[in-house]
Amino acid sequence: MKSLDINQIKEYLPHRYPLLLVDRVLDWESGKTIQAIKNVTINEEFFNGHFPNKPVMPGVLMIEALAQTSALLAFLTMGQKPDENAVVYFLGIDNARFKRPVVPGDQLMMQVEIQRHSRGIWKFKAQASVDGQLAVEGELMCTMRSIADSTPAE
């Protein structure tokens, strides 16, 4: 079992609070899958406005958490950490579905698998669940580029 704590995750992702949405990697297999968690607490900045009387994690942030988990898997698969000139661009999402609300106190269990990697484009099948219930799923695409390169796709 290969795991990463938050300090190791920060070596691979440029995101920082409040947009670092992966708390721990539980396990990963190079070129195949990764399992990670996001602990959702009432202290999250987005709950101040979404929604104060019934806090719900925004769907776009659940997708972002899955995208960050996907980027981790890509870097781990390549066996390299990004340098300060690298950026991962989110290219698209297909078949996104939201199945249940995610609220404070939930633990978002994220599972991502590589579907394809070709010509610098990565495609992942991603899903997240809470207590065994599917919360969100979709197919994500991303690419990695130098900050100096303003064109994200080939």
Give 29-41 pLDDT, tens digit per residue. Answer: 999 999 999 999 9
CA distances from 85 to 14, 136, 144, 148 (A): 11, 31, 10, 7
- Work out the average pLDDT over 71-88: 91
Q: What is the CATH number of the domain that holds 123?
A: 3.10.129.10
Give me the catalytic one of 15, 24, 50, 145: 50
Residue 69 located in a structural domain: yes
Summary mean pLDDT of the chain: 94
Residue 153 located in a structural domain: no
Residue 17 located in a structural domain: yes
Does residue 75 carry a pLDDT above 70?
yes
Residue 152 located in a structural domain: no
Residue 154 located in a structural domain: no
pLDDT value of residue 146: 81
pLDDT value of residue 150: 54
Residue 17, classified by CB atoms within 10 Å of its CB into exposed (0-12), middle (13-18) or buried (19+), is exposed
Q: Which domain holds residue 123?
A: 6-146
CB 82 within 8 A of CB 14: yes
Distance of alpha carbon 110 from alpha carbon 22, whole angstroms: 9
Task: For residue range 36-74, list pLDDT tens digits in order.
Answer: 999 999 999 999 999 989 999 999 999 999 999 999 999
Active site residue 117: no
pLDDT value of residue 18: 93
Task: For residue range 124-142, list pLDDT tens digits in order.
Answer: 999 999 999 999 999 999 9
Q: Report the domain count for the chain.
A: 1
Residue 125 located in a structural domain: yes
Does residue 153 carry a pLDDT above 60?
no
Residue 128 located in a structural domain: yes
Residue 151 located in a structural domain: no
pLDDT value of residue 57: 98
Distance of alpha carbon 145 from alpha carbon 151, whole angstroms: 8
CB 154 within 8 A of CB 145: no
